[in-house]
Structure 1
């Protein structure tokens, strides 16, 4: 071993050059004194265009008598989200929750599945960058707290932090406003980032065996991407459900 390189010890053995695999490295651009990860912006725009394109295409061909396959898939997704929301929140569902969960699930799924394309070096999954998942998580947490505040009022909103014991209020505060958003973001980011890292490692294998592990890993990566989109949406529904449930219990 010399420096940061692991040298080839035998013919056909995996050779890793540390400088070729740089976890968390992004090409950047400066604008108004701010640094932007250009690959994350590009892949986010790609995922948005795909999602909007599919939505417009589905809406154009939507039919009650003879629905298309894409329309059936979308309707299944909406029905599943509506059933989960109704199970968690009953009839008093906060406005926009179903739309939020359907949109976040669809966007995260498409963004994660960008890893299956042979363009991961140019447009990697944007969910592998914490600079995207943190704002997404903040959107959910802020929305949840706005709904909770509007339904409970000031006294009940802050009073629940002291339940069941007042001395637990600091722990509940940290959990509610820091623990939840961080865990929600890192759960999504960690799994997708690990997938992109594994693709980079596998990419260092000899060309004559590269296709087999790379194809298998990308299929597994797509499964993990779908699972993470599902978990993010379910947790969003649960957080909204807890806000509504506490309000209903007080009445």
Structure 2
């Protein structure tokens, strides 16, 4: 078989695989008239159990004299988040924002890295389902606005939507409560969904060309998963920083 024939065969297999894959398809179950994506629920539970198990194990083995590798990694993550929070907000940082961002990063990272496990067809990364990432983004935006309301008071909270011009208030409100959560969610979902789709397509290729692209893509997919967890957490810190920063404007008036 010539090189051209091999390439044609591989291309044909790839096209056939792409035709057989149904993007965004999830097995579902009905309960109380509601539809639930069972694979997303399963993978979310798996990611949560892994996160809790690692946290409990690390807490049990924590040592100031001889920390484990897991403890060192966790301490590096906390120090990085604390540094970003201090840079954005300093002493004005809302209570619990560091814990929230550390938890978001760890959970998203573990969820994204489920793509590297052979169980992906049954339990794909839950972050590849918009039904999970939208609530996560809403959690961040609601928390940010609650902090902003409490810090500035109702008058200045609603007043900042009309700056610099009152007629722009509807645009600012749509941006705050629709644009930000949608962009925050879709940025994470799009990359993880695309990565999972590529792995599914590559998995249908012939065995003699499968191992190299599949292994290479999974490594790249893990890198993208870590990067997206980092970006999600960093944007969360920035949003909180903006909410706290606007507190100074309220105090000045």
TM-score range relative to shorter protein: over 0.9
Partner in structure 1 of residue 36 of structure 2: 36
Question: Can you list the C-alpha shifts for 1:192-248, whole angstroms capped at 9, x where unaligned?
Answer: 000011011111210111010000000000000000000000000000000000002
TM (norm. structure 2) is 0.93
Question: Can you list the C-alpha shifts for 1:4-44, whole angstroms capped at 9, x where unaligned?
Answer: xxxx9954543214553000000001111111000000100
Contact kept? 2:18, 2:201, Cα under 8 Å: no
Contact kept? 2:17, 2:205, Cα under 8 Å: no
TM (norm. structure 1) is 0.94
Partner in structure 1 of residue 230 of structure 2: 230
Matches within 5 A, 1:90-169: 90-169=90-169
Partner in structure 1 of residue 56 of structure 2: 56
* Match for residue 14 of structure 1 among 12, 15, 21: 12
Aligned-partner SS, 1:29:
strand
Gaps of 5+ in 1: 1-7
Q: CA deviation at 1:72?
A: 0.6
Question: Can you list the C-alpha shifts for 1:143-172, whole angstroms capped at 9, x where unaligned?
Answer: 101000011111100000111111111111
Structure 2 distance, partners of 1:190, 1:37, is: 18
| Segments of 4+ moved more than 6 angstroms | none
Matches within 5 A, 1:192-207: 192-207=192-207
Contact kept? 1:43, 1:111, Cα under 8 Å: yes
Partner in structure 1 of residue 244 of structure 2: 244
Superposition RMSD in Å = 1.4
Structure 2 distance, partners of 1:210, 1:14, is: 14
Question: Can you list the C-alpha shifts for 1:125-155, whole angstroms capped at 9, x where unaligned?
Answer: 0000000000101111111010000111111
Taking structure 1 as reference, are residues 11 and 172 closer, same or farther at Cα in structure 2, changes over 3 Å only? closer
Structure 1 distance, partners of 2:28, 2:237, is: 35
Structure number with higher helix proportion: 2
